[in-house]
Amino acid sequence: SRSGSSTPRNSRASTLTRDEMPPPPLPLNFVNHTMEEHGVIRALDEAGGPSGNQSKVSIQSFQKKDKILRKLFKIVQSGEIPPLAQESDPELNSYLKRIRKIKIKDNILYRDFNGKDLPILPITEYTKVFELYHLPSHLSPSKMIQNILQSFYLYNMNRILRLAVANCDICKKRG
């Protein structure tokens, strides 16, 4: 035992690391403004949030603007799954490999992730999601992904968001 320390060596310190601390709650008007500003609307329906119908409409519009998700929507809707060899896009092939976990509900594509249906956001929204989930408090990739998976599913998010955090200037300076 170190002198002057009342904490046993193997016990957990009373202070939490930055990644273990929950992000501070944001006022609802700030959250709504930020989501609108970034073009990202959280799926607040399950939490009973105020923008339930708005979030569905926004997610639908994001999905309809995305070429890959439009194609995936048609595949899921028709039930006719093409062989992977026919598709040249790695994103679409990734979805096709997990086609049993994808469904359409209220004209929105969802992916079952650990028993929870998450709306799929297109790759075009990654920068906005990163800005919304990482930049306010500079969370680690794992904590940020954990938070995102409360609301959305993003293709290849582990790799892409880890790279984005690795290239964050503030996080680089912190070491």
Tens digit of each residue's pLDDT (9 = 90 or more) over 112-158: 999 999 999 988 888 888 888 888 888 888 988 888 888 889 888 88
Q: Please report the DSSP string for 51-64 in residue order.
A: THHHHHHHHHHHHH
Query: Which pLDDT value is given to residue 41?
Result: 42
pTM: 0.66
Reported as type and span, the H/E element at residue 154 is: strand 153-154
Question: Which range in 29-33, 82-86, 100-104, 139-143 is most confidently predicted, on average pLDDT?
Answer: 100-104
Query: Which pLDDT value is given to residue 50?
Result: 32
Measured CA angle at 70 (ends 43, 145), to 5 deg? 40
Q: Please report the DSSP string for 110-151 in residue order.
A: EEEETTEEEEEEPGGGHHHHHHHHTTTT---HHHHHHHHTTT
**Nearest Cα residue to 144 out of 160, 128, 133:** 133
Top-confidence residue, 175 or 9 = 175
